[in-house]
């Protein structure tokens, strides 16, 4: 599943559960403004990505970033100078998932 589809999945789950943006955000554990931005297509930071992924009940290995015309995938980092342990663990899992999905024999 492309990372860019998170917004569509959030909206679908909210509709299934009959939740507004505030109710869903409370369940996810993030602000309603953040959830609304992700639902509109903005990429979350790694910590919020983990919370959303768990709420959507999707495996992190199934989420990939689309490659756009030779560019590298974009990651939304916060302005904090150090990563939290949860963010570091999320980043490590994303790197391992990307490595596993990399075509064999390509460098």
Q: Check the CA dihedral 58-43-5-3 and report its sign.
A: negative
The pLDDT, as a whole number, for residue 34 is 94
Task: Report pTM.
Answer: 0.60
In this prediction, residue 76 carries a pLDDT of 52
| Long-range contacts, 47-56 (Cβ 8 Å, 24+) | 47/78, 47/84, 47/86, 47/87, 47/90, 49/6, 49/90, 50/86, 50/90, 52/6, 52/10, 52/28, 55/13, 55/24, 55/27, 55/28, 55/29, 56/6, 56/9, 56/10, 56/13
Domain boundaries, the chain: 3-101
Per residue in 53-84, pLDDT (tens digit) is 899 998 765 555 554 444 445 555 555 566 67
Sequence-ordered alpha helix ranges (H) in the chain? 6-17, 21-28, 32-39, 46-56, 85-101
Residue-level pLDDT at 35: 95
Q: What is the spatial distance between Cα 55 and Cα 25, in angstroms, rounded to a whole number?
A: 10
pLDDT, tens digit, 9 for 90 and up, residues 7-56: 999 999 999 999 999 999 999 999 999 999 999 988 888 889 889 989 99
CATH superfamily of 3-101: lambda repressor-like DNA-binding domains (1.10.260.40)
The predicted structure's pLDDT at residue 20: 96
């Amino acid at each position: 599943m492309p990372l860019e589809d998170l917004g569509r999945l959030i909206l679908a789950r909210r509709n299934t559960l009959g939740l507004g943006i505030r109710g869903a955000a409370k369940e996810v554990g993030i602000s309603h403004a953040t959830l609304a931005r992700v639902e509109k297509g903005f990429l979350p930071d790694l910590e919020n990505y983990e919370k959303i992924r768990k709420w959507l009940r999707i495996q992190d290995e199934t989420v990939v970033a689309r490659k756009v015309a030779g560019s590298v995938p974009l990651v939304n980092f916060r302005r904090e100078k150090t990563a939290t342990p949860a963010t570091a663990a999320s980043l490590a899992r994303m790197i391992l998932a990307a490595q596993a999905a990399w075509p064999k024999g390509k460098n």
